[in-house]
Structure 1
Amino acid sequence: MILTLFDGAIPSPLLFVNAPNEGAVSFWRTIEPYLTFLFSLSVFLIAFLIVLENRNPSRTVAWLIILNFLPIVGFIFYILLGRNVRKRKLFRNKFISNAEVIKKLETAPAGFLNESDFWQYPHLASKRRLLNLMVNVSQSPFTLKNRSKILTNGDETFRQMIQDMSEAKDHIHFQFYIIRHDTTGQQFKQVLIDKAREGVKVRVIYDGVGSVRLDKRYIAELREAGVEVVTFFPVILPFLNNKLNYRNHRKIVIIDGKIGFVGGLNIGDEYLGKDTRFGFWRDSHVRLEGESVYLLQNIFLKDWFFVTEENIEGDRYYPALTEAPGEELIQIASSGPDSDWESIWQMYFSIIATAQEKIYITSPYFIPDESISMALKTAALSGLDVRLLLPSRPDHHTVFWASRSYFQELLEAGVRFYLYQPGFVHAKILLVDGVVASIGTANMDIRSFQHNFEVNAVIYNSNSVYKLEQDFINDLQDSKELTLEVYKRRPWHHRILESIARLLSPLL
């Protein structure tokens, strides 16, 4: 006999109960009102706490709507993703590590620029607001003795990484959100194993959610060869894990403290365009030499300390530069739930707000908050050339449709949208005035701004800025511009999907 328990607007947490006899039925009928009351009370208390947290109003409303219409599902998802965990306590080890490593950087053989130094560069006079902001919120100094090289797509990036890793003499630090155990992953694994057996110190960090499908044998083989492998926030019991919402989205490689890589590519065959679902994969990475690598090293060592509580020290990780590889002004901007400020979010806003001629953005996920949206609309209405390059096909459907819900208001302001046609565009690039470029791991969405650990390289007035702009122009040739007239003629069911996705977007 099956007994269905519904009483009033809020269903009981026990939907179906097997009742072999009348005594059992009577028992469940007796306790059902109490269970319903307790569940209703818990939903009410969660709603009350959400309001008291003084969140972004749209985020608060989104949670309240879900709790009202889907109380059981909303309750579970709030416990899983919505709780505003006391981040200071959760990430206290990262704060300690940050202070310790910054002290090391201050005594390292680096010629970091302070605020009074970079005014000697007249071509950056228009970016004083941006430079001031980056000094104040990022806790990351400007570096001058640098050389950068833009790597376009997976073939070029992986080939350069493997070549540099193969030549490592002292250490390799290897950190990615996603590592696959496919052909590409096996190739990198073999390089890491070979170098570890040669006596090179190899450390690997992978994210517990991004690499949740990584084969345990893959990890075991690395460890057997002497590679130190750790997981950032492993997820064993997702529904009981208050860390699930905080992911390490960084993609970093550091070789001997002299060469660094950062950008949009993870480790897997799909980044070479071998996934038939997406086809060609358009992405970008940057190779760095010089003082900026010290800052990437700082970020990796903070993450390593947080996961392992091992405080790694030694000049070997910040080797002196025998000569300057170049003179490019570069800053490494990092952000995450351990930061006092959403520095990459603020950096994006300031770069856009200080633009004088043109703003070019490439991002696979585009869910702007009110400040970014207003900055883009204001720039376009002021006569600036504002262009966004986005995917024409989804890899995450909710984010895809939520992104499109912002198109009309931006199109009406004069922002131009281009949808990439050959495959999937995954690069995360912001270009302004041909003077400043940001390339790294942060998407232009709330998840990257507030929840994920991210890292971007900000490059000023160099050949790399020019190369990124040329890549952007080439990508426009492979894209189809979406006009306001065409967008308004979209099917009615697209409008519904966009509205629902936008409503959920504050929770993504």
Structure 2
Amino acid sequence: MFLNTWSLWEKEPDYNSYLGLAENLDEKGYAVSFGDNPFDDDKVGEKVYMHILNRADKYVHIITPYLILDDGLLMALKYFAERGIDTKLILPGIPDKKAVYALAETYFRTLLNSGVEIYLYTPGFVHAKVFVSDDKKAVVGTINLDYRSLYHHFESGTYLYGAKCITDIEADYQATLSKCEKVTYESIKKEKAFVKLRGRFMRLIAPLL
């Protein structure tokens, strides 16, 4: 079932109320399609991601090609990892934009300090945008964890709840994870000084990226 509406739920919604269609479903599970655009103040993509983080009980596993976090998402990732939620990020091992990747690296240490695990996909670039949580929620779409996707672009995604394919998404995540290298404090220290300096400079203009 696909719906073209979205609201930020404080608690799990009563899906049976949607158009009275739930009783006609052949299998358990719901798919809610949503769109986002830069011409209103309702940042739907960010709300969806924050909803998944806020409602996680066991884990949140994320794949994103770009990592340029605002204060809200940065604090959310740190807070939920500190709560004991298994919080993992998969990023490209070979970036398409070195300067933007240098910016992403400026978040690594503070995320590691809070218990967020970061992995680099060693075969190359990943372009998937995936959130999956607790084997019951997932988002697949076009929304990166960067300012352009969250604030400046037209984007779309599908929020899945209780659908059978969510376990397949998590299985794919684990398969991807097996091809990744974990980011550690030691690997951060090995980065060249000019790369770190470039990342810090890019941080100053992050909202434009």
Pairwise TM-score range, normalised by the shorter structure: 0.7 to 0.9
What is the letter of the counterpart of residue 345 of structure 1? Answer: E
Paired residues for 1:240-255 under 5 Å: none
1:380 aligns with 2:84: no
Q: Offset of 1:458 from its aligned partner? A: 0.4
Q: Distance in 2 between matches of 1:489 and 1:111?
A: 47
Structure 1 match to 2:69: 368
Q: Offset of 1:486 from its aligned partner? A: 2.1
- 1:347–1:440 CA distance, 2 compared to 1 (3 A): same
Q: Is the 8 A contact 1:143 1:329 kept in 2?
A: no
Structure 1 match to 2:191: 490
Structure 1 match to 2:37: 336
Q: Is the 8 A contact 1:144 1:329 kept in 2?
A: no
Task: State the structure with bigger RCO (CA 8 A, min sep 6), 1 or 2.
Answer: 2
> Of the candidates 424, 427, 430, which is equivalent to residue 128 of structure 2?
427
Q: Distance in 2 between matches of 1:479 and 1:144?
A: 42
Deviations for 1:336-377, whole angstroms, at most 9, x for unmatched residues? 113340011111112112211111000001111111110110
Deviations for 1:69-93, whole angstroms, at most 9, x for unmatched residues? xxxxxxxxxxxxxxxxxxxxxxxxx
What is the letter of the counterpart of residue 444 of structure 1? Answer: L
- 1:144–1:470 CA distance, 2 compared to 1 (3 A): farther
Q: Distance in 2 between matches of 1:144 and 1:363?
A: 33
Q: Offset of 1:327 from its aligned partner? A: 4.1
1:129 aligns with 2:10: yes
Deviations for 1:415-441, whole angstroms, at most 9, x for unmatched residues? 000000112110000011111000001
Q: Is the 8 A contact 2:61 2:89 kept in 1?
A: yes
Structure 2 match to 1:352: 53
Structure 2 match to 1:39: none
Q: Is the 8 A contact 1:342 1:449 kept in 2?
A: yes
What is the letter of the counterpart of residue 341 of structure 1? Answer: D
Q: Is the 8 A contact 2:136 2:161 kept in 1?
A: yes
* Runs of 4+ off more than 3 Å: 141-145, 323-327
Structure 2 match to 1:507: 208
Q: Offset of 1:460 from its aligned partner? A: 0.7
Q: Distance in 1 between matches of 2:103 and 2:207?
A: 10
Q: Is the 8 A contact 2:106 2:199 kept in 1?
A: yes
TM-score by length of 2: 0.87
- 1:144–1:454 CA distance, 2 compared to 1 (3 A): farther
- 1:478–1:497 CA distance, 2 compared to 1 (3 A): same
Structure 2 match to 1:391: 92
Query: Going by fraction, where is helix more abundant, 1 or 2?
Result: 1
- 1:479–1:333 CA distance, 2 compared to 1 (3 A): same
Q: Offset of 1:142 from its aligned partner? A: 8.4
Q: Is the 8 A contact 2:91 2:119 kept in 1?
A: yes
* Count of paired positions: 203
Structure 1 match to 2:163: 462
Q: Offset of 1:381 from its aligned partner? A: 0.9
**Secondary structure of the structure 2 residue equivalent to 1:448:** helix
- 1:354–1:490 CA distance, 2 compared to 1 (3 A): same
* Runs (5+) with no aligned partner, structure 1: 1-109, 115-126, 136-140, 146-322
RMSD between aligned residues: 2.7
Paired residues for 1:122-201 under 5 Å: 129=10, 131=12
Q: Is the 8 A contact 1:367 1:445 kept in 2?
A: yes
Q: Offset of 1:409 from its aligned partner? A: 0.4
**Secondary structure of the structure 2 residue equivalent to 1:380:** helix
Q: Distance in 2 between matches of 1:491 and 1:342?
A: 36
1:443 aligns with 2:130: no
Q: Is the 8 A contact 1:143 1:330 kept in 2?
A: no
Deviations for 1:13-44, whole angstroms, at most 9, x for unmatched residues? xxxxxxxxxxxxxxxxxxxxxxxxxxxxxxxx
**Secondary structure of the structure 1 residue equivalent to 2:113:** helix
- 1:354–1:374 CA distance, 2 compared to 1 (3 A): same
TM-score by length of 1: 0.37
What is the letter of the counterpart of residue 393 of structure 1? Answer: I
Q: Is the 8 A contact 2:61 2:88 kept in 1?
A: yes
Q: Offset of 1:393 from its aligned partner? A: 1.5
1:401 aligns with 2:127: no
Q: Is the 8 A contact 2:81 2:115 kept in 1?
A: yes
**Secondary structure of the structure 2 residue equivalent to 1:395:** coil
**Secondary structure of the structure 2 residue equivalent to 1:353:** helix
**Secondary structure of the structure 2 residue equivalent to 1:349:** helix
Q: Distance in 1 between matches of 2:11 and 2:188?
A: 34
1:415 aligns with 2:116: yes
Q: Offset of 1:395 from its aligned partner? A: 1.0
Q: Is the 8 A contact 2:64 2:145 kept in 1?
A: yes
Identity %: 31
Q: Distance in 2 between matches of 1:390 and 1:111?
A: 29
What is the letter of the counterpart of residue 362 of structure 1? Answer: I
What is the letter of the counterpart of residue 130 of structure 2? Answer: I
Q: Distance in 2 between matches of 1:111 and 1:397?
A: 38
Q: Is the 8 A contact 2:100 2:199 kept in 1?
A: no
Q: Is the 8 A contact 2:2 2:31 kept in 1?
A: no
